[in-house]
A and B are shown apart, each in its own frame.
Chain A
Amino acid sequence: MAISLSYREKSLYASLAVELLVYGPYFFLHRQNSINKVAGMIIAIIVLQIILQSVVAALTRNRVTDERDRLIELRGYRAGYLTLASLMVVGLGMLWFHATVGRLRLDNRMVGLHFLSVFFGMLVIADITKTASQIVSYRKAL
């Protein structure tokens, strides 16, 4: 049986594909932290999202969203927020531990970049959790 996808669902799959395509290589293949790479990644995300979302919108005749879409969206944001809050607590604990026990120099530029990358990674994980949670919600009973 063919699975029928709504406009919002197609849009979510497109978002997830872009997030994995851009964030994946950045976090798993890069060797050095740099502000330029983060900036390049953000630009790539914006450009790819605009292109893919335009294609999805052009290929979908019925772009209606309803109460179920809104409920699923809210659930996704809740999952994303809980993930971000949990990771932030872990991240801040890690920062505190390294700064006090490990005698980490927080004024060192490379250390600053490293933690910037870690916190950016948390934001990315929370965003992917939000999108994935919404996709799962469309397939299971609410």
Chain B
Amino acid sequence: MAAIRNQIRELRALREMTQQELADRIGVTRQTVIAIEQDKYSPSLETAFKVAIVLGVSIEQCFQYDPRGKR
């Protein structure tokens, strides 16, 4: 399991937002949003904050750190 996990897929689904819409609003490609949702890529702090702002939640609700997880 990855060290940093996230709830972006669920939060995005609640807001009926597509991956492309989220990607456009935070300034990354759709492939990067897919990689983040699948825990294959941990975004920079700046992008993590942008995701939280766009989804209207705190960063802790979006991303969680698991100290037992692998990087």
Using a CB–CB distance below 8 Å, which chain A residues touch chain B? 4-7, 9, 62, 64-69, 138, 140-142
Chain B residues touching A, range: 10 to 19
Contact of A64 among B2, B29, B47 (CB under 8 A): B29
Q: How far is the CA of A65 from the CA of B39 in the complex (A)?
A: 20
The answer to whether A142 and B34 touch across the interface, beta carbons within 8 angstroms, is: no
The answer to whether A4 and B40 touch across the interface, beta carbons within 8 angstroms, is: no
The answer to whether A140 and B40 touch across the interface, beta carbons within 8 angstroms, is: yes
A66 to B: closest C-beta gap in Å = 4
A6 to B: closest C-beta gap in Å = 4
A103 to B: closest C-beta gap in Å = 53
Q: How far is the CA of A82 from the CA of B44 in the complex (A)?
A: 26
What residues of A have a CB within 8 angstroms of the CB of B35 in the complex?
Answer: 68, 141-142
B48 to A: closest C-beta gap in Å = 11
What residues of A have a CB within 8 angstroms of the CB of B40 in the complex?
Answer: 140-142
A108 to B: closest C-beta gap in Å = 52
Contact of B32 among A5, A66, A140 (CB under 8 A): A66
The answer to whether B41 and A5 touch across the interface, beta carbons within 8 angstroms, is: no
Given A67-B44, A141-B40, A142-B42: A4 and B32 interface contact (C-beta under 8 Å): no
